[in-house]
A = this chain, B = another copy of it.
């Protein structure tokens, strides 16, 4: 399953992502070209795009379903007596950029993303892409078969909230405010 080939492939991918992060942190996202990244990782540009077909942004914001998985656990394994919306609030409040006490490594990375419009926009689209999954999870939590319009709307608002709250002076307060209103708007959850 994990032969030499797969190990080498993973190594190439990691070399690319590492080189990209280092260069971005050093000189800023917009001042680094994919050619430089490929050279730093000692690969061809075509190889870079073979590993990250979603483009330059994906070098930093590697998705691979990790988001959907974390959302799923956040809802499915929430403490008893906790509403799905409270679980989601806690989920986001415990992550960057809302949680403050994170290792410097994470923080620098998040600061880069927050400071780079292209990266922040891409991060948002990756979260929004979870809308169907989240709507299904909410339906499950509500004991409904299929998510209807109402749950899709809620899922979208929830996933939009981090982007929105991050732009406010007090991010955590804005996040809490948003979830408070969502709870009022969807009292059944």
Contact = CB atoms under 8 A, between A and B. Distances in A.
Interface of A: 149-150, 152-154, 156-157, 160-161, 164-165, 168, 170, 173-174, 177-178, 181-182, 184-187
Nearest to A157: B157
A186 B184 CA distance: 8
B149 A173 contact: yes
A164 B174 contact: no
Most chain-B CB neighbours within 10 Å: which of A165, A173, A177?
Answer: A177
Given A181-B185, A185-B182, A185-B185, A153 B164 contact: yes
Contacts of A161: 153
Most chain-B CB neighbours within 10 Å: which of A152, A161, A182, A185?
Answer: A185
19 contacts: A149-B177, A149-B178, A150-B177, A150-B181, A152-B164, A152-B174, A153-B161, A153-B164, A153-B165, A153-B178, A154-B181, A156-B164, A157-B157, A157-B160, A181-B185, A181-B186, A182-B185, A184-B184, A184-B185
